Structure 1
Amino acid sequence: MAAERSRKRKRNQEESIARIKKGKEAKKKAARKKKRGPDDDEDDDDYDDMMDMYRKAKPLPGQLENCELCEKRFTVTPYSKAGPDGGLLCTPCGKSQTKDAKAAEKALKPVVPRKARRKLESNRLDGITTRGAKPLQQLCIEKLANHSEDIDDFGEMPEAIMNRLSEIFSKKRAMNSTTMKLFLRPDMDTVAIHEAAYLETEDFNQIIAVVPEIKKLSLRNCCQFKDGNMEYLIEKAQQLNEIQLLGANLVSNDNWINLFSARGKNLKALKLEWLDAAFNDEAVQALIEFCPNLSRLKLERCKQLGVDSIRAIARAENLEHLTLRLCKEIPRNDLVELILAVGANLQTLCLENFMDSKEEPDDDVLIAIRDTCTHLSKFRFTENHECTDAGFVNLFTNWPNYPLRYIDVNSTRDMDNANPEGPEDFPVGLADVGFRAMMAHSGSRLEYLDIASCRHIAHETFTEVFDGEKQYPQLREINLSFCPVVDTQVVAGIFRSCPQIKKVVTFGCFGVSDVVVPKGIVLIGAPKAQDAIEQFGDTIFDFQTDMMRRENGIVVPTMA
């Protein structure tokens, strides 16, 4: 039985080999026929098969052979290249032939100019959407950044250019203990280092030593800023009145309190972000107690802060700019009390991610803002699912505040995944009526608008607000990302209603396609773009002519 199975398996193998050989012969004949052409005689196939019998077999690996090009003797390997006449080539000639073939193939391909996608994405994330030739000043700044190790001194440069150089050095990770010295001069009063991750502890003391009259200090990602640096700053920086530190997690809570008690009378602005282990409620209470002239306060992602910090900030009498983003849940009543206490003098109010999961949706916070804040120019109220559309309507209807210049209300929507459309009776977050009231109140002076993820605004509302007849003369940038109803018609309406628009962001808006972008405008995030995320406008579009054609019933397919 076993012998029969063995014979059967051997017979199947032989049949498979025969089929493979037959297939290879058919492919060879088809190739010769294609090469021969339709006018040649088919009997040549028999002649070619006969001549194959007399051709010399190729040498096997390990044998010696003469190179077809240089005629040198070499040892054949499995990787030996074939020559143009069927012979073999030595290793140098084989490499040269491969190189020449690649060069010829590259020369035949059409040259397609491509942008460095990584660079474009990096610039886009930095908010840079320029197109065309760079200004001479920008080219000089980038050249300096590329040769940072060869520079001894910047000389007398304006503060704006020094700050721009610091940004580029930080972005290129070129800010270290050596290059940092280029940005320090004894006559300066402002030091801004946007990426201090490569600086050592001694470098921070050197900043204060070289710039003794410093008034404004900004250090981002200063992970090596320690207690010793804070003590040196308290002792030497007598005129310091503005401090911005990001990631200074090695400073103890006691040294924060010492800073406020020693330099509190001069301190006017404090910006702290990403503090984990220290800077708790006691430090905030000391800040409010010892800093009576504090006018600008920004506390974001400081994990130790809670309700006591909110109650302490409510006692600040001279606050004009307030930005808060805490990690702990804050009861709504405490937040309302804060706004009622400090809102009358505020020019900037930014409240991010303030939600209490234990309470039902309510508009107490927006009511407090409407009743108290009458001097705002910038308003940010994001990631909230407690306030309703009726609350936004009440806020922007007959609000005695001047029209806002900056509005960011992204992600104000219902968070129930089981019901993504939200409740029908009372929409949660910014919806149709609230959006209309917002644009009616601030549309005349609005410059920046962010309503990303406000998914409860209907398509009819967008087309009504941006219909080409209503004009928003100052609006330069708008973010509509992840508003699913936004389509080509809405974007075209924005182009007609906003004569100064420069940037439109539409990530996640899958109805946007085939938009002709007017000259001077950049459309970012259109999902139907084949290669580039950014679509720059090249065509000059006459908005008045377009509106006249639409009034006469003439449809312009390129814009809507």
Structure 2
Amino acid sequence: MSNNVRGPSSALTEFLRDAGITATTIARRAATRTREEQQQQQPEAGPSRPANTNRRRRSTRASGYASDELDEPENSAVPEDAMQVDEAASPTKKRKLTKAAEAKLKAQEKKKLGKKDGGDEDEEEDAYTAPSKSLWATSAGPKPPVGSFEKCAICEKQFTVTKYTMASSSGSGFLCHQCAKAGGVDPFKKPAVPKKRKAPVEKRNITKFEEKRFPTLVNICIQLITKHINDIEVLGDIGVLNVEAISKALSKNRGLTQDNVHLFYNTSNDSLTLFDATNLPSPALETLAYHNRNLTSLRLDFCGHLDDTAFNVFSTSLNVLERIELLGPFLIRPPAWKKFFTTHPNLEGFLVTQSPRFDIECVTTLVEHCPGIKDLRLKEIGKIDDAFLEQIQELGGLRHLDISDPSHSCSEDAIVSLLAAIGSGLSYLNVSKHSALTDAFLTDGLLAHTGNLAALTISYLPELTDAGVGAFFDEWASNGPLNILDASRNDVLGDLALEGILKHSGHKLMQLNINGWKDVGADALNIIGRLGVEMRKLDVGFCRALDDFVVKMWLEGEKKRGAQTGGCRALEELKVWGCNRVTSACPRKKGVVIQGIESQASR
């Protein structure tokens, strides 16, 4: 028996169709019975007619199907002889199902369609809505072969028969796809996939320990000003730090607009910082240059609307500008950059992030007209390559260099040559994501040509090795201890590298980031608590060996000969994201913010 049920047919209907019982055969038998009853009522009908009718009815019962009584109530009794099959007379016909067998068949069909036990037992309609094969069993005849031409029964237009062609409901022919859709039946509709119940997602509590303090009067005033910024006519003389604090507070909800930004403009300003210039169009940025002519330092974050027109105003109006920091100046083209460098020969700081149109001609102009550059940042510059570094070698007075996050890594030889030219004067260096750098960069570049570095960022350098980094710091005696070190996302670094770092710079380090050092051990982590007396910020995310006991040692120190020694006593911020062994029961300390504790208890 086939269980391949299609369309809105029930299991019983499909079973009867396989046995050869359709609406056509039922109608034919009903017509035959009516004709016999009419013959019985005629006067010439003999007494043998009822016997023949009974005999015909008995033969129908013997065949296994009573087509005249298919619609009788379910509670009616089924004669025993109805279950007897005359196999010799009809070997291909199958037995009529009992109620128990029919219920079992329905249960199997529901299970096949993904239905759960205990669902709606009275539902006989299938969730499958694709056209049933029974639609072809009409007076229109069999389905024409695919590729042949037919005339639509409704619009009478000729169309090509496909496997999706459907017969009309009146049985007068077949329908084109447009008329089939217009009739409310989509021949291309796919069967509905039963929805699977999603497993409940385990929720995690991310705990952040932070000391709650009462806000100062200055903080309350800043919050009040930020809330009513559009109602304030002038800020007055409140100091540069407070102005920056208000600008930073407004940037949290992007509340800085061209209507209230004039509150930060003043001809006496020598420094201006706008932490979110997203809502400032190009004309508002032009106004900035006109109303702040005495600026020597300018910082604009998210300045995506800064175009050539506004930047040319910067070139002509901000004549005494010495330092500019821009985040996201996507629209500035090389001619505008070169004009700015030409008009600002006294520029000392040029720090740009995300400028895809900044090319080698811009760097050449910068080096030629601004030889006094001390702070240079070319971060996330898509066109940076070895030719850029050859030009930068001419800037002998550099003390701050950031060439991180390039589209393609510069070669190791080019970076070593750059350090050979300018490395002795550098105090800050960031070469993150230059994936071509290996341990040779440390020994041939930093070890040989630097001696004044205080901050170093070497994150995302996959070719560095644990032993190579450890040996480098052991030998780097020519350079004093570092204050800031970011070596995050170097997953092969471990105990040797951390021990070398802490022996070289542990007692002077104020910021250390080893996020992603998954294999570093607890013993090496404990050294941070013994030597990191000046540590302010520490990021040890995804260090698997970190647990509550190591955190306790960092915060409280350890006992030696009855006295408490060590500990990161100056620690202010600790990040432990991804450290599953650190629980919500880890020790806390006043003044220390701990971020990223993951407790497995659900909310």
State the TM-score, normalized to the length of structure 1. 0.67
Q: Is the 8 A contact 2:210 2:594 kept in 1?
A: no
Match of 1:433 in 2: 496
* Among 466, 470, 473, the residue aligned to 1:396: 473
Q: How far is the alpha carbon of 1:5 from its aligned partner?
A: 7.1
Aligned counterparts of 2:596 and 2:302: Cα–Cα separation in 1: 29
- 1:120-179 residue CA offsets vs partner (Å, 9 max, x unmatched): 99xx8xxx9552322221111011101111000000111011111111112221111111
Length, aligned pairs only: 401
Q: How far is the alpha carbon of 1:461 from its aligned partner?
A: 2.2
1:157 to 1:348, Cα distance in 2 relative to 1, 3 A: same
Match of 2:366 in 1: 287
Structure-to-structure mapping, 1:440-451, within 5 angstroms: 440-451=503-514
Structure-to-structure mapping, 1:447-526, within 5 angstroms: 447-463=510-526, 465-466=527-528, 470-495=530-555, 496=557, 497-513=567-583, 514-526=585-597
Q: Is the 8 A contact 2:409 2:433 kept in 1?
A: no
For residue 274 of structure 1, what is the amino acid of its counterpart?
A: Q
* Among 340, 343, 359, the residue aligned to 2:420: 340
Aligned counterparts of 1:481 and 1:362: Cα–Cα separation in 2: 24
Q: How far is the alpha carbon of 1:490 from its aligned partner?
A: 1.8
Match of 2:351 in 1: 271
For residue 410 of structure 1, what is the amino acid of its counterpart?
A: S
Q: Is the 8 A contact 1:336 1:365 kept in 2?
A: no
1:392 to 1:362, Cα distance in 2 relative to 1, 3 A: closer
Q: Is the 8 A contact 1:366 1:387 kept in 2?
A: no
Match of 2:382 in 1: 303
Match of 1:109 in 2: none
For residue 402 of structure 1, what is the amino acid of its counterpart?
A: G
1:311 to 1:519, Cα distance in 2 relative to 1, 3 A: same
* Among 318, 327, 332, the residue aligned to 1:251: 332
Aligned counterparts of 1:367 and 1:501: Cα–Cα separation in 2: 34
Structure 1 stretch displaced more, 132-141 or 158-167: 132-141
Q: How far is the alpha carbon of 1:229 from its aligned partner?
A: 1.3
Q: Is the 8 A contact 1:177 1:198 kept in 2?
A: yes
1:7 to 1:527, Cα distance in 2 relative to 1, 3 A: same
Q: Is the 8 A contact 2:367 2:394 kept in 1?
A: yes
Q: Is the 8 A contact 1:484 1:511 kept in 2?
A: yes
Q: How far is the alpha carbon of 1:6 from its aligned partner?
A: 5.5
For residue 166 of structure 1, what is the amino acid of its counterpart?
A: S
- 1:443-496 residue CA offsets vs partner (Å, 9 max, x unmatched): 111111100002232233223x14x6x242211211110111212222222212
Match of 1:329 in 2: 409
Aligned counterparts of 1:474 and 1:201: Cα–Cα separation in 2: 45
Aligned counterparts of 2:421 and 2:507: Cα–Cα separation in 1: 29
Aligned counterparts of 1:174 and 1:294: Cα–Cα separation in 2: 34
Aligned counterparts of 1:255 and 1:182: Cα–Cα separation in 2: 28
* Among 74, 81, 84, the residue aligned to 1:8: 74
Match of 2:452 in 1: 375
Q: Which has the larger radius of gyration?
A: 2
- The structure, 1 or 2, with the larger RCO (C-alpha pairs under 8 Å, 6+ apart) is 2
- 1:338-390 residue CA offsets vs partner (Å, 9 max, x unmatched): 1121110011111111112xx8x543344411222111111111001112223
Aligned counterparts of 1:529 and 1:206: Cα–Cα separation in 2: 53
For residue 384 of structure 1, what is the amino acid of its counterpart?
A: L
Aligned counterparts of 1:130 and 1:510: Cα–Cα separation in 2: 23
Q: Is the 8 A contact 2:250 2:256 kept in 1?
A: yes
1:131 aligns with 2:212: yes
SS at match of 1:302: coil
Q: Is the 8 A contact 2:442 2:472 kept in 1?
A: no
SS at match of 2:403: strand
5+ unaligned residues in a row in structure 2: which ranges? Answer: 1-65, 78-98, 104-203, 558-566
For residue 344 of structure 1, what is the amino acid of its counterpart?
A: S
Aligned counterparts of 2:421 and 2:259: Cα–Cα separation in 1: 47
Aligned counterparts of 2:480 and 2:242: Cα–Cα separation in 1: 34
SS at match of 1:244: strand
SS at match of 1:444: coil
Aligned counterparts of 1:531 and 1:197: Cα–Cα separation in 2: 38
For residue 403 of structure 1, what is the amino acid of its counterpart?
A: P
5+ unaligned residues in a row in structure 1: which ranges? Answer: 17-116, 415-429, 533-560
* Among 184, 188, 192, the residue aligned to 2:273: 192
SS at match of 2:218: helix
Q: Is the 8 A contact 2:470 2:496 kept in 1?
A: yes
Q: Is the 8 A contact 1:310 1:335 kept in 2?
A: yes
Aligned counterparts of 2:522 and 2:422: Cα–Cα separation in 1: 38
Aligned counterparts of 2:299 and 2:587: Cα–Cα separation in 1: 42
* Among 268, 281, 286, the residue aligned to 1:205: 286
Aligned counterparts of 1:130 and 1:330: Cα–Cα separation in 2: 45
Q: How far is the alpha carbon of 1:283 from its aligned partner?
A: 0.8
1:10 to 1:474, Cα distance in 2 relative to 1, 3 A: farther
- 1:26-78 residue CA offsets vs partner (Å, 9 max, x unmatched): xxxxxxxxxxxxxxxxxxxxxxxxxxxxxxxxxxxxxxxxxxxxxxxxxxxxx
Match of 1:228 in 2: 309
Q: Is the 8 A contact 1:281 1:309 kept in 2?
A: yes
Q: Is the 8 A contact 1:298 1:324 kept in 2?
A: yes
Q: Is the 8 A contact 1:384 1:413 kept in 2?
A: no
For residue 594 of structure 2, what is the amino acid of its counterpart?
A: L
Match of 2:58 in 1: none
Structure-to-structure mapping, 1:27-426, within 5 angstroms: 131-263=212-344, 265-276=345-356, 278-325=357-404, 326-356=406-436, 361-398=438-475, 399-414=477-492
- 1:182-213 residue CA offsets vs partner (Å, 9 max, x unmatched): 00011111121111111111111111111111
- 1:265-305 residue CA offsets vs partner (Å, 9 max, x unmatched): 210001111112x1112211211121111000111111122
Aligned counterparts of 1:365 and 1:333: Cα–Cα separation in 2: 12
1:474 to 1:290, Cα distance in 2 relative to 1, 3 A: same
Q: How far is the alpha carbon of 1:391 from its aligned partner?
A: 2.5
1:531 to 1:344, Cα distance in 2 relative to 1, 3 A: farther
1:342 to 1:456, Cα distance in 2 relative to 1, 3 A: farther
SS at match of 1:342: helix
SS at match of 2:458: strand
Q: Is the 8 A contact 1:194 1:219 kept in 2?
A: yes
Aligned counterparts of 2:577 and 2:516: Cα–Cα separation in 1: 10
Aligned counterparts of 1:249 and 1:301: Cα–Cα separation in 2: 11
Aligned counterparts of 2:268 and 2:76: Cα–Cα separation in 1: 93
Q: How far is the alpha carbon of 1:530 from its aligned partner?
A: 4.9
Structure 1 stretch displaced more, 282-291 or 294-303: 282-291
Match of 2:598 in 1: 527
Aligned counterparts of 2:227 and 2:70: Cα–Cα separation in 1: 78
